[in-house]
């Protein structure tokens, strides 16, 4: 694939993904997060590598990993975007080892929106509401993710698979309202 095709293909994929995430974030009740979602993908570190490794049917980060053994774009991305569970790994003050930290619910909600949108963008007409859950379950035991964060995301993905988007987004909005009320009480 020539450079202009990779450039415009990657730009289109990023823009399409961000639009889909914004729509999902609006349904989840977090429109501001949807507007700000993945802005780092336009930075030179992420965008240039995205163009270089663009294939159109999977993440360019996977191709970059295959080429050089890791993804510079992903390393940059995960450290700047709180909707990725990889962002939420820190040193435990007692054990002094890296351990997952429980994610705030609003970022778990954005992660849900991100995963659903990514499935729709990459799978196109083959997408089904159980696809994000199946993708999540494939690597469930290998992730460095806080158990409560994992359980919450899995519950929403399961709801999506079993009852559809309306039920999943209603549950997310209800949980976010509950979190907001609990913060006000403190």
Mind listing the pLDDT tens digit for each residue in 138-171? Answer: 999 899 999 999 999 999 999 999 999 999 999 9
With cut-offs at 50, 70 and 90, classify the pLDDT of residue 182: confident
What is the per-residue pLDDT for 183? 83
User: What is the reported pTM?
Assistant: 0.94
Cα separation, 45 vs 27, whole angstroms? 31
Across 89-112, average pLDDT: 96
CB-based contact 112:28 (threshold 8 Å): yes
Q: Which residue has the tokens 């993804």?
A: 71
What is the per-residue pLDDT for 133? 98
pLDDT digits (tens, 9 = 90+) for 15-73: 999 999 999 999 999 999 999 999 999 999 999 999 999 998 889 999 999 999 999 99
| Cα dihedral 81→60→144→141 (10° resolution) | 140
Cα separation, 172 vs 106, whole angstroms? 9
Q: What percent of the chain has pLDDT over 90?
A: 92
Cα separation, 183 vs 63, whole angstroms? 42
Using CB atoms within 10 Å of the CB of residue 156, give its burial: 0 to 12 exposed, 13 to 18 middle, 19+ buried.
Answer: buried
- Assigned token pair, 63: 């191709």
Nearest to 59, CA basis, from 10, 22, 132: 10
CB-based contact 154:85 (threshold 8 Å): no
Q: Which residue has the tokens 């049917």?
A: 57
CA distances (Å), origin 149, targets 58, 75, 160, 177, 183: 25, 21, 17, 17, 18
- Assigned token pair, 27: 């349904």
With cut-offs at 50, 70 and 90, classify the pLDDT of residue 175: very high
Across 71-100, average pLDDT: 96
Cα separation, 63 vs 84, whole angstroms? 20
């Amino acid at each position: 694939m020539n450079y202009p095709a990779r450039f415009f293909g990657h730009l289109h994929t990023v823009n399409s993904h961000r639009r889909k995430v914004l729509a999902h974030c609006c349904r989840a009740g977090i429109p501001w997060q949807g507007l700000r979602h993945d802005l780092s993908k336009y930075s030179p570190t992420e965008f240039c590598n995205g163009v270089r490794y663009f294939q159109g049917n999977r993440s360019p980060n996977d191709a970059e990993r295959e080429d050089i053994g890791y993804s510079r774009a992903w390393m940059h991305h995960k450290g700047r975007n709180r909707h990725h569970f990889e962002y939420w790994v820190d040193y435990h003050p007692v054990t002094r080892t890296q351990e997952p930290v429980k994610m705030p619910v609003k970022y778990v909600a954005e992660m849900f929106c991100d995963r659903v949108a990514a499935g729709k963008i990459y799978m196109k007409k083959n997408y089904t509401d159980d696809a994000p859950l199946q993708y999540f379950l494939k690597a469930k035991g290998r992730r460095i993710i806080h158990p409560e964060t994992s359980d919450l995301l899995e519950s929403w993905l399961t709801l999506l698979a079993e009852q559809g988007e309306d039920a999943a987004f209603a549950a997310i909005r209800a949980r976010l309202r509950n979190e907001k009320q609990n913060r006000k009480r403190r």
